[in-house]
A and B are shown apart, each in its own frame.
Chain A
């Protein structure tokens, strides 16, 4: 919701796909060929729109689709996938540029344009960032930011007037992928990171992946029980924070759907 609200205000027009399918990420563990087929099929659907830029707001989907672009260059199975798509009347286009929310805003829109668009500077707000895993690793694929010292999300937040902190657990994983096999451990990973963030005494945590957001926001209470701590960390996706800085109504940004105490963070902005 917040992507749909904020992007047009930064002169990026969004076009929906004519059909929607999974990117293939969870299927990788079952059958890599089928997973690749799904990811390539997504690119073939993008091709139908006539656009050559694809926006993927999720880290895992972004990784899966970026990796398949590389696989298609030199894999024995590439022609089989293309053949399967042909039978469906679909064509793979290898020239589609895959963007993530973070790099499209940082590299294409640019920090200067963002600064100018801000209507409500987020002064006196201090947040921790969670970039997640799969948009920064592994560097042999073109990734969104540096693998060991990602800065773009921090810079995007700073452009809105807020401060970000560096902390030891910054690169720790949210655990989402483990929910399919070891759900308790998945929650402990999310819980440990939230506990660390809580001890920083910041106003909240900004994430760049909806799957991480699910772990840190919607499942925060459960995560707290795994680490024996009452967690109280407002967690938002970057474009939700961006939307607030652009003066967009909280409902349009889906902030009433967050389960973590985002009102604490909003209260800091309104003053």
Chain B
């Protein structure tokens, strides 16, 4: 039998700015407008309910938290300011802390930022006439990398929970 775990629940609550999610009355406005509902069966109201009841241990390792497209419609439309998007982001952070399965791309982005300051290095593109061009050909200014101290401070920031 599944049992609620209030310690894990508190951990999620501590990651949120407010505790408005406890005011959710399951009106389903979030789910009925959710971009990821049709394709990936994300039901934000269920996530809010599970968190409120303390059934949270499975959520960080579930793929469902990675189906949110972050369109923010649920935040906008929630009459109770329960803000499912922010709860999902908190659950994603918890998944990283617990070393649960996290989509690889996210970790790649973090290491790219650490190395270059950017989520992705500047890329060359091919024009319709099949010419490969970079920023220089396009007369765009050079991208200036962050000062040396950036790496250390970003690493420190990544250690915060």
Contact = CB atoms under 8 A, between A and B. Distances in A.
Interface of A: 1, 4, 16-22, 25-34, 37-38, 41, 63, 71, 74-75, 77, 80-81, 84-85, 87-89, 133-134, 137-139, 147-148, 171-173, 175, 177-182, 185-186, 188-189, 254, 256-259
A63 B76 CA distance: 13
Cβ-closest 10 pairs across A and B = A137-B72, A37-B157, A33-B160, A21-B117, A181-B66, A34-B157, A138-B75, A180-B105, A133-B71, A181-B103
B150 A18 contact: no
A30 B133 contact: no
B148 to A, nearest CB: 9
A160 to B, nearest CB: 24
A34 B71 CA distance: 21
Contacts of A185: 36, 39-40, 67
12 contacts: A22-B109, A22-B118, A28-B89, A29-B93, A30-B96, A31-B158, A32-B90, A32-B93, A38-B157, A133-B73, A257-B127, A257-B133
Interface of B: 15, 17, 35-36, 39-40, 66-73, 75-76, 89-90, 92-93, 96, 102-103, 105-107, 109-110, 113, 117-119, 125, 127-129, 133, 138, 140-141, 143-147, 149-150, 153-154, 156-158, 160-161
A75 B17 contact: yes
B152 to A, nearest CB: 8
B69 A84 contact: no
B153 A88 contact: yes
Nearest to B90: A32
Given A30-B107, A189-B69, A137 B154 contact: no
B133 A84 contact: no
B154 A177 contact: no
Contact of B17 (A31, A34, A71, A180): A71
B35 to A, nearest CB: 5
Contact of B157 (A31, A147, A172, A258): A31
B110 A257 contact: no
Q: Which of B69, B105, B160 has the most CB of A within 10 A?
A: B69
Nearest to B144: A19
A106 B10 CA distance: 44
Contact of B76 (A21, A139, A172, A180): A139
B113 A21 contact: yes
A256 B129 contact: yes
B157 A180 contact: no
A30 B73 contact: no
Contacts of A32: 15, 89-90, 93
Contacts of B158: 30-31, 34
